[in-house]
A and B are shown apart, each in its own frame.
Chain A
Amino acid sequence: MNRKLFLTIVALASLLPLTGCWDRRELNELAISLALAIDRIDDRYLVTVQVVQPSEVVSQKGGGETTPVTVYQSEGVTLFEAIRKMTTYSPRKIYAAHLRVAVFGEALAREGIGDALDLLSRDYEFRTDFYLLVSKGMTAERTLKVLTPLDKIPASKLFNSIQTSSKAWAPSVTATLDEFLEDIEGEGRNPVLSGIRVAGNASKGDTKDNLNQVRPPARLRNAGLAVFRKDRLVGWMNERESKGYSYITNNVKSTVGHIPCPDGGKAAIEVVHSEAKLKGSVKDGRAKLAVELSVEENLGEVQCRIDLTRSESIRELEREAENTLTEILDKALGVAQNKYKSDIFGFGEAVHRSNPSAWKSMKDDWDNLFADTYVDVQVKVKIKRTGTIGNSYKERKE
């Protein structure tokens, strides 16, 4: 009896080493990659991976002898092959679960990134919460070869600065993998991605010299919005147009802009709350589109002569702000409709919601229909506060 029990226990215990441990990976067997760049060279993919050197990032004693990150590159007909091939250069297996950003080269983006996205969404190791970016006017790999100050890891610098500015600066837009896929799979909305470029002397970015100057020679810069039609890049939006896009798609959490004063000069206003309503309906077989934007603002800086104690002057400023915003929205709508013929705002979804049966006949040619439809823009601005002082001190002296 006891012998039987003993043998059973031995048999069960031997199961532990037999079945377990097969996917065990120690932390120091991982090449933690935080950024991935994908370019197209002829019919092959060039994959670049930015891998962290942990001991350089977390320097207990001195450190800083080598660069905080290193870059591995390889080519392959498919992405999966290319990434696996990296093990021939890298001492450790590339570990992608902590990927912060994936950058696509502009050339690849113009061809379409749908095929490249398949691996990112299929492989279990990739999460879906990293940001997708497009490198403007250069290959994506160059953006991964720039060392950045303050945040030692360039990938997390990119991630953090996109995240921070999207909260405080309207033209910045974030798009994660799952959001992007949702846009290209769904109907009635085309995706946009943030653009990125290396400003300054790009060739100096990959040495430590880049960090030894107060103003680094090579710097990573936001490069406006990349407008897509399905998975294909069709063009770029500048800062002002990007701002309009953010307002219409409700991406503005807080931002700052300026308006002209009634009697000349400028005033800066801070947006504290912004809400846009997209309206789409179908009348007589034609789509009717409208945007209603209501914005709450604070006065942040006054560089003109105006008596802020009078409520009329506040109202005048509100009217100026409404005009400025209408202009911004019209500009963004104009670029999307006329230049790129791409409904990046999601008007199609609004039409779909309001009239599903009419949408069925429209959806195949929606981008062209959208380009020809007039969009009615209504803007309402409310200035709530004027800061800690009333009138500008210049006004008070007299």
Chain B
Amino acid sequence: MTGSANLESSLKANVASIQERTGNSDDLVVRDIGIGTEGAGIDFAILYFEGLTEEKSINQFIIEPLLNFGATRGEHPLTDVHMLMDRLRKSVFAVGQIEAINDLAAALDALMSGGVLVLCDGYAQGLRISMAGGEQRAVTEPTNQSVIRGPKESFTENIRVNSALIRRIIKVPNLVLHNRKLGKETRTNVSIMYIQGIVDPTALSEVGKRLGSIDTDAILESGYIEEFIQDEPYTIFPTVLNTERPDTVAAALLEGRIAILIDGTPHVLLVPALFVQFFQASEDYYQRADISTLLRALRYFGLFIATLVPALYVAITTYHQEMIPTQLLISLAAQREGVPFPAFVEAIIMEATYEILREAGVRMPRAVGQAVSIVGTLVIGQAAVEAGIISASMIIVVSITAISSYIIPVFDMSIAVRITRFLFMGLAAAFGMFGIFVGMCAMLLHLSSLRSFGVPYMAPVGPFVLSDQKDVILRVPHRSMKTRPSLFGKLNPIRTRRKDRDQP
């Protein structure tokens, strides 16, 4: 790009080169304004992209003051253009962000990111005014991570709205935000947020380094960045947490973690992310500690069901029939009478059917949703059993597995669980329980070898950190949660100080 070209002093030349650079796009608005008397007047041009800016405000705070200024100063022709521009910038335009720019590249950048460019004839500088606006989605309730008790705000596609949502929760000057632009073509705004004095400096510099090394043409969503910065690309387990809830981000920042906000997506990345954090819902901290602890235990139980139940069913019914109580064995055998497939094929058919239904449910147009779900219920539920192709017990196994995988609060983890389920089913079909246990060992080894920004993925379980057990399966009451997680909040460990309570 030849972006280093400076602006010229001819207004016409500047406007022409901007139009040429933007390919004469029709949504580039060029408003000509002349002030002063005939012959001694000065020509201005106001440029902006339609839809990216707030046109009402442009009329009210840029064009109107300019015209008024021209009208009052009409008798005294202003020949010194430099003084004129300085004056305009300082006391005419009623806007917040305004700065003088010299080169064409900056001018274009201002236009592309929703700014307004004011050019003046005979003056080789321009004024860049931030007036980004236009239509955008409002802050709404979270759709993927909903709660019963707790804030009902979620992030939007606008990065500044998102950072503001976080700043509204944490009102300390230590909350730091640094901007950078990523993607050669998209020039996407990416912000790193953290709390100075709590954040782990080594993780912070690691995040900066990894973001800096991204060299790609486009960042369209947080997933792009997640894949570029994760520690281990070849794993099915997520090592970066994403959330659409400002309160979750605030809580993570307070634990000493780092948030990465990306313009254009309501998903904010949090690092470092540990295995246990994928089983913590924000509501755990808003409900009473006892029920939160029970729900945590239920989630880990759900993890085992979702990963292992189809595999166990296949292994036990095809290799280890002696493990089943006699009555149950007879009733399972009765259900399998006449079923033409081996249990493993049966399980694969049903799991695949379910995955197809699930994927169709996400992608299909809303209007046909009901039709698909009716057909799906009939196919999965009844027809397959009545036709004698699938045994009824297999339907139960697939259903409980499907439901259990959604008890995990973070969707990325339930995706990982779905993949492991198929691996375990294959092992169970070939080796029975032996295969399942070998697979479990392999999975555990793999999980223990993962790291997220230098922090062991399975911490605080392995390596075991006693003081961090307060928030793994247990969620102790906030009064007892005295310190931050020791792995990334060690700079400022104290959360809660015990004060003597007044006895009633």
- A residues apposed to B, CB below 8 Å: 16-17, 19-21, 23-28, 30, 32, 34, 52, 54-55, 57-58, 60, 95, 97-98, 100, 125, 127, 153, 156
Contacts and interface: CB of A to CB of B under 8 A. Distances in A.
Contact of A32 (B333, B342, B343, B429): B333
Contact of B333 (A21, A54, A125, A127): A54
Given A24-B319, A26-B318, A32-B329, A16 B426 contact: yes
Interface residues of B, number: 26
30 contacts: A16-B427, A16-B430, A19-B430, A20-B429, A20-B430, A21-B429, A23-B319, A24-B319, A24-B429, A25-B321, A26-B317, A26-B336, A26-B342, A27-B321, A27-B336, A28-B333, A28-B337, A32-B329, A32-B330, A32-B333, A52-B330, A54-B333, A54-B337, A55-B334, A57-B330, A58-B331, A60-B334, A95-B321, A98-B329, A125-B322
A98 B326 contact: yes
B332 interface: yes
A172 B339 CA distance: 42
Q: Which of A27, A34, A57, A100 has the most CB of B within 10 A?
A: A27
B406 interface: no
B333 A27 contact: yes
Nearest to A95: B321
Interface in B299-351: 317-319, 321-322, 326-327, 329-339, 342-343
A188 B464 CA distance: 55
Contacts of B435: 20
Contacts of B342: 24, 26
Given A26-B318, A97-B321, A20 B431 contact: yes
Nearest to B338: A28
A16 B426 CA distance: 9
Contacts of B321: 25, 27, 30, 95, 97-98
A38 to B, nearest CB: 21
Interface of B: 317-319, 321-322, 326-327, 329-339, 342-343, 426-427, 429-431, 435
A380 B327 CA distance: 43
Nearest to A25: B318
Contact of B322 (A16, A21, A97): A97
Contacts of B329: 27, 32, 98
Nearest to A52: B330
B300 to A, nearest CB: 29
Contacts of B337: 28, 54-55
* Of A23, A28, A125, A127, most B-chain CB atoms within 10 Å: A28
Nearest to B314: A24
A314 to B, nearest CB: 45
Nearest to A152: B330
A55 B336 CA distance: 9
B430 A17 contact: yes
Given A28-B336, A58-B334, 12 more contacts: A16-B430, A19-B430, A20-B431, A20-B435, A21-B430, A27-B343, A30-B333, A54-B337, A97-B322, A98-B326, A98-B329, A153-B330
B433 to A, nearest CB: 12
Contacts of A125: 322
A16 B425 CA distance: 12
A34 B330 CA distance: 11
A17 B430 CA distance: 7
